[in-house]
Amino acid sequence: MTTTASWKNTLLGQDASLREAIENLDHSGLQIVLVVDAQGLLQGTVTDGDIRRGLLRGLTLENSINEIIHRDAFVVPPDMDRKTVLALMQANEIRQLPIVDEQRRVLGLHLWNKLAAPAPRHNTMVIMAGGQGSRLRPHTENCPKPLLPVAGKPMLEHIILRAKEDGFRRFVLALHYLGHMVVDHFGNGEALDVEISYIREPAPMGTAGALGLLDPLPGEALVVTNGDVLTDISYGDLLDFHRHHGAAATMAVRSHEWQNPFGVVNTQGVEIVSIDEKPVYRSHINAGIYVLEPDLLMSLKGKGRMDMPELFIEQRQQGQRVLAYPMHEPWLDVGREQDLLRARDERGEGKS
């Protein structure tokens, strides 16, 4: 729950006067008064505009704010994610949004200027960018897959800029195939106002093995993503989910549906029990985005090649808590030429 620390200064009893509301606005500087009853339950809001309209109607500064309370104010629950809150505020052109529980007890206050500029994330993000991209040849014969352009930028740059929007500034790129081209393009990250360092795989090490090359090991949870995954996921929300549930490892997953084109006959022996006409099967697939606790990385030291599913299974067998983070945001694994064309088309570049 993202909220301003001074929100309690906006609280005012419903028996207060317009004068007290003005004083409250001046004191808090947050441009809103949250009107509550004796139990702290929200009765409505008052803004400078409400006060001015009341004065134009002939009210005096000694009148009760009950005359001007906006009782149908937008409110949100404490578990609503930042992205949804921002969208709601933007759609309704509001700059303050009270946070309340099920009884409308005030728990906090969202401010547009605080949400729009997310707090810095000190966690490191590792981007696996060493693959050969063999399924994308000839595009990758002289260009590493993460540098293939989409809407005028390398795929890798889209990932970095998306994470930067969530407050991430520290990136480590794991390189192998044509890695020098990636270093030449991004350098130390100064052009993007981020910090970029590199680890180099002596040979392909899978989607997890390269993490064993990190030196020093990070002191906080690590966000890891494949370098060919384009998505609008909030990496910050994924990290918060991981922390909230006390996980050792978290994997972002997407719902995948597949419809059998035939009628499926269910039998017991030779007896037909039921027939499902073109059933739809649903499952979760690995989205290639993860959060790992630093302790897990110790198990990768000196191991060589390892893929993330193997790491998750190993940690599960050791009794660690490994979780799935269901994501609904747009997502595309750019592994084949048709995926690259789709990415370019969806991001406004066109199939040419």
**All structural domains of the chain:** 7-116 (3.10.580.10), 122-346 (3.90.550.10)
Strands 149-150 and 153-154: antiparallel
Give the chain's mean pLDDT: 87
pLDDT in tens, 263-319: 888 988 888 888 888 888 877 889 999 999 998 888 887 778 889 999 999 999 999
What is the predicted pLDDT for the residue at 349? 54
Residues near 254 by Cβ (< 8 Å), separated by ≥ 6? 284, 285, 287, 326, 327, 331
0.95 cut: is pTM over it?
A: no
**Which tokens is 79 given?**
């578990």
What is the predicted pLDDT for the residue at 35? 94
pLDDT in tens, 220-264: 999 999 998 888 888 988 998 899 899 999 999 887 777 888 888
The confidence band for 350, taking pLDDT boundaries of 50, 70 and 90, is very low
What is the predicted pLDDT for the residue at 189? 92
Q: Which of the pair, 1 or 123, is modelled with greater confidence?
A: 123
pLDDT in tens, 45-97: 999 888 988 888 888 889 999 999 999 888 999 888 877 888 888 888 888 89
What is the predicted pLDDT for the residue at 351? 37
How many angstroms separate the CA atoms of 231 and 316, rounded? 27
Is the CA virtual torsion 260, 263, 269, 274 positive or negative?
positive
Q: Which of 172, 145, 174, 147 shows the shortest CA–CA distance to 305?
A: 174
Where would I find the beta strands (DSSP E) of the chain? 11-13, 33-36, 42-46, 96-100, 106-111, 121-128, 149-150, 153-154, 168-175, 195-200, 222-226, 229-231, 249-259, 263-268, 271-277, 280-292, 322-327, 331-333
Is the CA virtual torsion 251, 285, 196, 162 positive or negative?
negative
What is the predicted pLDDT for the residue at 5? 62
How many angstroms separate the CA atoms of 280 and 340, rounded? 27
What is the predicted pLDDT for the residue at 98? 92
